[in-house]
Amino acid sequence: MLACVPRLHGQYRTVFYILRRLRSIRRSLTRSVFQSFVVALVLLKLDFGNATSAGLPLYQLRRLQSVMNAAARLVFSASRYDQIMPLLHCLHWLRAPERISFKLAVLAFRCLKGLAPTYLIDSLQHVADLPG
């Protein structure tokens, strides 16, 4: 089972490096533009492997959530000790486990509607088509 867990340590280091670099340009941009940068450079990088993120152990989910919390605090210039849930709510960001589930549900929906790539659509099997 441990062989199936993705190695995300390098990914987290990369994302925290990106967050440190983004901090240097924060004052030069409006909040909405800066938020777009954070989403494009950080959250999309974390969302890239959602299929492999499903079923992650709790310690990995906590690390993923800590990256998202740091990104939210950076957008709002918030302190490390400020409450994070109001910031995530204001940004319309889900917490890490819910975000993974939501992205996988969207992918399944796109497969069912024929809007996903054909290799994904072909690998999806309807429960009603299963024997028994």
- Tens digits of residue pLDDT in 78-106: 999 999 999 999 999 999 999 999 988 99
Q: What is the pTM of this model?
A: 0.81
Tell me the pLDDT tens digit for each residue of 37-79: 999 998 888 887 676 788 888 988 899 999 999 999 999 999 9
Exposed/middle/buried for residue 79 (C-beta within 10 Å: 0-12, 13-18, 19+): exposed
Q: Are 18 and 73 in contact (CB under 8 A)?
A: no
Helix (H, G, I), strand (E, B) or coil at 22: helix
How sure is the predictor about 131, in pLDDT bands with cuts at 50, 70 and 90? confident
Q: Which single residue is written with the structure tokens 């709002």?
A: 76
